[in-house]
A and B are shown apart, each in its own frame.
Chain A
Amino acid sequence: EVQLVQSGAEVKKPGESLKISCKGSGYSFTSYWIGWVRQMPGKGLEWMGIIYPGDSDTRYSPSFQGQVTISADKSISTAYLQWSSLKASDTAMYYCARSGDGYNLSAFDIWGQGTMVTVSS
């Protein structure tokens, strides 16, 4: 079964760092893009960026460039989203998703279950 399994919910304080993960299984992890999507409480979906684990080619939305870092470790089929200094406004559900057409970017056909990040003092 093709699936993406994300790390568990996090509660952090402003200024702390955080790295959440997304592990792929059931398919060739290095052959599909993995994207990250933010959903703030009660709001819509926001595309943050995407990485191709095969060669670490990474694209960011201008809204998130410099605010987060997307990476991947192909040896353990895992993609990451990290912050160096969290803000209260980073409180949201974060989804990883697979772009489903090999190296050609496509729609997100497989989604992780989401990781809830809460930032509060």
Chain B
Amino acid sequence: EIVLTQSPGTLSLSPGERATLSCRASQSVSSSYLAWYQQKPGQAPRLLIYGASSRATGIPDRFSGSGSGTDFTLTISRLEPEDFAVYYCQQYGSSPFGFGGGTKVEIK
């Protein structure tokens, strides 16, 4: 079973700053089958990135994903007020398709 570890647990930043979130896998994620989701309080998660680097429909280009193998990164180039939320990575290359523990991006 692949275990995903996200860091940091919490990121305190100001609007306009750049956010860099990390997701590390215990084994290589096949074919870069790695996704990123955003979840706001009281809402269902929303898909941001799939295939490690492809933006989902309607996702602004300030969100970008990169990485391969065991190390993946979600970057938000300039934080907008609506971007403060919790972010999860998920691998879907090998069942069970588990999630990381999440990174909370909060307003500094």
**Range of interface residues on B (Cβ < 8 Å):** 20 to 34
A99 CB-CB contact with B under 8 Å: yes
For A107, give its contact among B39, B90, B96, B100 (CB under 8 Å): B90
Please judge, given known A-B contacts A47-B97, A59-B95, whether A111 and B88 are in contact too, CB under 8 Å: no
**Chain B residues with CB below 8 A from A54, complex form:** none
For A47, give its contact among B47, B51, B57, B98 (CB under 8 Å): B98
**Chain B residues with CB below 8 A from A113, complex form:** 44
**Residue contact B98 to A112, C-beta cutoff 8 Å:** no
Chain B interface main SS type: loop
**Chain B residues with CB below 8 A from A109, complex form:** 47, 50, 56-57
**Residue contact B44 to A114, C-beta cutoff 8 Å:** yes
A66 CB-CB contact with B under 8 Å: no
Please judge, given known A-B contacts A62-B1, A107-B35, A109-B56, whether A47 and B96 are in contact too, CB under 8 Å: yes
A90 CB-CB contact with B under 8 Å: no
- Roughly how many angstroms separate A37 CA and B97 CA in the complex, as a whole number? 10
- Roughly how many angstroms separate A95 CA and B45 CA in the complex, as a whole number? 9
- Roughly how many angstroms separate A61 CA and B101 CA in the complex, as a whole number? 16
**Residue contact B46 to A47, C-beta cutoff 8 Å:** no
CB of A33 to closest CB in B, whole Å: 10
**Residue contact A45 to B88, C-beta cutoff 8 Å:** yes
**Residue contact B44 to A46, C-beta cutoff 8 Å:** no
**Residue contact A61 to B98, C-beta cutoff 8 Å:** yes
For A105, give its contact among B92, B98, B101 (CB under 8 Å): B92
A sample of 14 cross-chain residue pairs with beta-carbon separation below 8 angstroms, ordered by A number, consists of A44-B88, A45-B45, A45-B102, A46-B99, A59-B96, A62-B96, A100-B50, A107-B51, A107-B90, A108-B35, A108-B90, A109-B50, A109-B57, A111-B44
Interface residues of A (CB under 8 A from B): 35, 37, 44-47, 49-50, 59-63, 95, 97, 99-100, 105-109, 111-114
Beyond A47-B99, A108-B35, 9 additional pairs, beta carbon < 8 A: A45-B45, A45-B102, A46-B99, A47-B97, A59-B95, A97-B45, A106-B92, A108-B45, A108-B90
